[in-house]
Amino acid sequence: MLQIIKLTVNGKPCEIAVDRRWSLAEALRQALGLTSVKKGCEVGECGACTVLVDGKAVDSCLYLALWAEGKSVVTVEGLKSGDNDLHPIQKAFIEECAVQCGFCTPGLIMSAVEIVGEGRVYSRDELRKLLSGHLCRCTGYENILNAVERAVREING
Amino acid sequence: MAYPDIIGKSVPRVDARDKVTGAAKYTADLCPANALVARVLHSTVAHGLVRAVDISEAEKVPGVEKIVTCFDVPDIGFPTAGHPWSTEISHQDIGDRRLLNRHVRYIGDDVAAVVAVDEVAAARALRLIRVEYEELPAYTDVSSALAPDALPLHEEVSDSNIVKQHIYEAGDLDAVRSRADLRHFRHTYRTQPAQHCHIESATSFAWMEGGKICVVCSTQIPHIMRRVIGQALGLPWGSIRVIKPYIGGGFGNKQDVLYEPLNAYLSYIMGGACVRLEISREEVFTSTRQRHAEELDYQAWVDDKGRLMGRDVLVLAQNGAYASHGHAICANSSTVLRDIYNDELATRTEAKTVYTNTGTAGAMRGYGIPQACFAAECMMDDIALELGMDPIEIRKLNMMRPGFVDPGTGIACNSYGLADCIEKGRELSRWDEKRARYAKPQSGNIRRGIGMGIFTYKTGVYPISLETASARLVLNEDGTAQLQLGATEIGQGGDTVFCQMAAAASGLDFERIHIVSFQDTDTAPFDTGAYASRQTYVTGKAIKKCGELFRQKLTERAAARFHRPAEELTVAGDRIADRSGATVVTLADLAEDAFYALDGSEHITAEVTSHCTDNTFAFGCCFAEVEVDLALGRVKVLDLINVHDSGTLINPALAAAQVEGGMSMGLGYALSEEMLYNGEGRLLNGTLLDYKLPTALDVPDLKAEFVVTDDPTGPFGNKALGEPPAIPVAPAIRNAVLQATGVAFNELPLEPKRLVAAFSERGLI
């Protein structure tokens, strides 16, 4: 059964019809075409579907679409500024070679946005812990850590 | 040799921007919203015959469109390996699969499929299908499958459960055995089944259009996929169209044909309606492919100086329920033993690939070499320990040297950086100092050690199989060009280095080369795809040839239009220049004229096939420093360094990134990853939570280093890189644990339960 929910997605207010059983990941992909929200396991193990809900990083596969009523959701599609400039975290991911197959990338970037949003600098070990909910099989995390470390330093350092 | 500047330049990935903005499209992102949904019903018994399938209740579920069972599908056996097809019947892959199977051979085998309007209806219908099995004895390990009275899993392939076996012999091993002056070593090394864990599932959707079945799928091998779907459905290969978008990792699992033929069939019987078949993560674990568990019964005879006089190694590979890559992987395990080390007098290897009632093993990053390397490198340290030698010195005494030619394949050591890799690793790891420090008696709960391991890896599959690749460059009206390949970007950075190579060969600026990343087998030139660390080498040769032809065509056009001798002209980035460097015409003007000249238009393209009859050895090593907590059985890796000789590096930053990813995979293989089966053949940990691949917390800072050589057979001096980094890590860590604790672990992974048991047994805790 479909139900209408109102929420803000990537800064724009929207009203979408969702199946009550849908996860937020399904709603973002199917109702809004936000395909950066990747499905890697659909049970909260891999972190590929991570989006921000009111500024907090959540596994959108474990978050019912209905719960997003009235909330603000951000995906990587919403990170570019008005003049199409990339977010510093996106730039850092490119420049630090933190992208390989790219499937875990959007989710990791959203967690990095949350981390950067805390307004402080983190040690590498702290970053390892903060990113440990994301599985990546291509990179060994080395360049992802480098990218997030760099973005944190540039923005909050 | 001097290569153009773009070779060896760490340009950013051409696909990075799309991947950080969400613009990059993967299979599921392209599927129409109204596609029908297919789900597969899997066998609940490890071995049996399906007597009946009752779909009467399932069919009543609202939204169910179609249910097919193993009794409905064509009785056509087809192969699934991502190998080039062989025109010789004796070399063709084993076709032991059906779209759905009446004789089920593992828990997770495919019995029926439901097509429904949505996931919920499909899932409900699956639960209502009743299957009646006649159970047969299940052989869930190699020894039970090889028992004399064991029923053959595939009678049409073999009257035993041996998929294939072979023996290699050189020299007089009996003479070696009888020599009393030699030290004899014999150990059995075991490696575990492991899985790729690409973060994108295996997924596809299919529909019919223009009389063809079109299949969009997450694969490393679009052209092979097209052929196998045709074979499986009994349709002409040209009536299949495979489209490969970006893929979320493959690591060999997607070098196999998985559920795509079934997906194509389901669309076909639905009259061409679009059907999506996206298997769950749990199904990826249970029902796709895995790395072979292998057991190596390894004997070595050594003189008192540590020189290998002879070896006799039996390699047993657990292949699971279906042939997949057949004997190729186990054979590779045995072959590398004679490549990486040389025996003074005699070598014997025997390799057997065995069917079992467990999940099917196939290609996984390293193709049999991680298993063999684990055994070979453990044995080297076990011998060194007994003889009181330094592990590096014993390796140097026995390892491959320049000029080596494999006696079976004829593959030659064309460039050699192995010794330099070891020296570099020795220095960076401070081996001499640490090895000496940790050799001193240690006490207490925390022990430290340092270990290392080496490897060699071939580049592509010649001469075992065909190596061929093609490439096409197409001029645009603005003087830029499209590069089209059948070779695939699977996350490794292929597209970026392909553009670099095309720029180097054609003379165009790198920025002027636009790669067509997606393969559509209707339009992409032929290539067998991403495997065997072959593409920069084999496809690279095609790109080089194509770029040179493109350059020639551009200069000939300019010569004709400007009445200059073609041999005086060349392509220089964005223009045609003469020998003095002066601009003859910009590429933009040349292209516009070529397209629209009223007195002679010409659409300039270059397309070539490169038939590759070369192969070459890449090398490398890993150095690992560990700290072992005896009571917890926990290994903490303090320092991890890989040093690689992959020839010339096309893009050093991307090469390092590849190495880091491989090191992490090797680390998981060493310490935590294992597919656990119970005695009935049921997988116990088939989720990303229970299967322990490394997280960011589990990986130390990774150090990826290179020794650059210039391989004369590589298109730009380059050789294999993609798979090798995963190979030497596990034995290096094992050997470090050996130094730290004195305990030789001969079985992977080195997980706490195993370590605590061994430490207790030795009285260490």
Task: Please report the pLDDT score of residue A82 as a whole number.
Answer: 74
Structure tokens at B355: 């069917």
Helix axes B729-741, B369-387, angle to 10 degrees: 30
Q: How many CA atoms within 13 Å lie on the side-chain side of B717?
A: 19
Parallel/antiparallel/unpaired status of strands B702-706 and B634-645: parallel
3-state secondary structure of B636: strand
Which CATH number belongs to the domain containing residue B604 in this structure?
3.30.365.10
Residues B454 and B488 both lie in one domain: no
The Cα–Cα gap between B33 and A33 comes to 10
B562 in a structural domain: yes
Q: Which helix (H) or strand (E) is A5 found in, with range?
A: strand A2-9
Task: Please report the pLDDT score of residue B621 as a whole number.
Answer: 98
Structure tokens at B635: 């290994």
A4 CB burial (10 A radius; 0-12, 13-18, 19+): exposed
Q: Nearest to residue B329, comparing CAs of B297, B374, B364?
A: B364
What are the DSSP calls for B110-121, one per residue? EEEEEEESSHHH
Task: Please report the pLDDT score of residue B1 as a whole number.
Answer: 82
User: Does any CB of chain A come closer than 8 Å to the CB of residue B28?
Assistant: yes
The Cα–Cα gap between B234 and B229 comes to 8
Q: Nearest to residue A43, comparing CAs of A29, A63, A69?
A: A63
The Cα–Cα gap between B283 and B61 comes to 23
Is B26 in Cβ contact with A38 (below 8 Å)? Answer: yes
Q: Are B726 and B370 in contact (CB under 8 A)?
A: yes
pLDDT < 70 stretches in chain B: none
> Can you give B673-716 as a three-state secondary structure string?
CCCCECCCCCECCCCCCCCCCCCCCCCCCEEEEECCCCCCCCCC
Residues B420 and B480 both lie in one domain: no
Please list the alpha-helical segments (H only) found in B400-527. 418-428, 431-439, 494-506
CB atoms within 10 A of CB B534: 26
Residues B570 and B475 both lie in one domain: yes
- At A80-110, the pLDDT tens digits run 877 789 999 999 999 999 999 999 999 999 9
Residues B703 and B745 both lie in one domain: yes
Q: Nearest to residue A126, comparing CAs of B697, B343, B358?
A: B697
Total count of domains within chain B: 3
Task: Please report the pLDDT score of residue B652 as a whole number.
Answer: 98
Backbone angles phi, psi at B693, to 5 degrees: -85, 155
3-state secondary structure of B455: strand
Task: Please report the pLDDT score of residue A103 as a whole number.
Answer: 98
Q: Which residue of A has its CA nearest to B118?
A: A19
Residues B435 and B475 both lie in one domain: no
Peptide bond into B725 cis (omega under 30): no
Task: Please report the pLDDT score of residue B105 as a whole number.
Answer: 98
B76 CB burial (10 A radius; 0-12, 13-18, 19+): middle
DSSP-assigned letter for residue A75: -
Q: Among residues B611, B636, B664, which one ends one of the domains?
A: B611
Is A104 in Cβ contact with B20 (below 8 Å)? Answer: no
Q: Which residue of A has its CA nearest to B196?
A: A137
Q: Are A24 and A65 in contact (CB under 8 A)?
A: yes
B162 in a structural domain: no
Residues B299 and B436 both lie in one domain: yes
Q: Are B730 and B190 in contact (CB under 8 A)?
A: no
Is B246 in Cβ contact with A38 (below 8 Å)? Answer: no
Residues B478 and B498 both lie in one domain: yes
Task: Please report the pLDDT score of residue A83 as a whole number.
Answer: 79
The Cα–Cα gap between B325 and B255 comes to 10
Task: Please report the pLDDT score of residue A84 as a whole number.
Answer: 80
Q: What is the torsional sign of CA B314, B316, B317, B323?
A: positive
Q: Nearest to residue B40, comparing CAs of B208, B288, B268?
A: B288
DSSP-assigned letter for residue B255: G
Q: Which domain holds residue B235?
A: 31-136+202-278
User: Does any CB of chain A come closer than 8 Å to the CB of residue B13?
Assistant: yes
Residues B98 and B233 both lie in one domain: yes
Q: Which of residues 227-256 of B touch A (CB under 8 A)?
A: 246-249, 251
Residues B238 and B336 both lie in one domain: no
Q: Among residues B594, B611, B628, which one ends one of the domains?
A: B611
B259 in a structural domain: yes
Closest CB to A99: pick one of B20, B660, B663: B20
Q: Write down the ipTM of this complex.
A: 0.98
Which CATH number belongs to the domain containing residue B45 in this structure?
3.90.1170.50
Peptide bond into B463 cis (omega under 30): yes
Task: Please report the pLDDT score of residue A81 as a whole number.
Answer: 77
Tell me the CA distances in angstroms from B112 to A86, B231, B551, one per residue in order: 47, 20, 54
Residue recorded with tokens 């091993």: B173
B287 in a structural domain: no
B188 in a structural domain: no
Parallel/antiparallel/unpaired status of strands B446-457 and B618-629: antiparallel
Closest CB to B661: pick one of A38, A46, A100: A100
Closest CB to B665: pick one of A38, A134, A137: A137
B165 in a structural domain: no
Structure tokens at B161: 């459960």
3-state secondary structure of B461: coil
Is A143 in Cβ contact with B29 (below 8 Å)? Answer: no
Closest CB to A131: pick one of B198, B280, B696: B696
3-state secondary structure of B198: coil
Residues B748 and B684 both lie in one domain: yes
Structure tokens at B139: 């052989």
Residues B651 and B701 both lie in one domain: yes
Domains contained in chain A, CATH given: 2-75 (3.10.20.30), 88-156 (1.10.150.120)
Residues B445 and B543 both lie in one domain: no
Structure tokens at B443: 């006490």
The Cα–Cα gap between B319 and B322 comes to 7
Q: Which of residues 487-516 of B touch A (CB under 8 A)?
A: 490-493
**Residues 6+ away with beta carbon under 8 Å from B684:** B676, B677, B678, B690
Q: A85-98: b or e for each residue (b if 16 or more CB lie within 10 Å)? A: ebbbbbbbbbebbb
Q: Which residues are registered as beta bridge partners of A18?
A: A3
The Cα–Cα gap between B411 and B616 comes to 6
B194 in a structural domain: no
DSSP-assigned letter for residue B573: B
B288 CB burial (10 A radius; 0-12, 13-18, 19+): buried
Q: How confident is the model at residue A148 (pLDDT cuts 50, 70, 90)?
A: very high
Structure tokens at B512: 């002027």
B2 in a structural domain: no
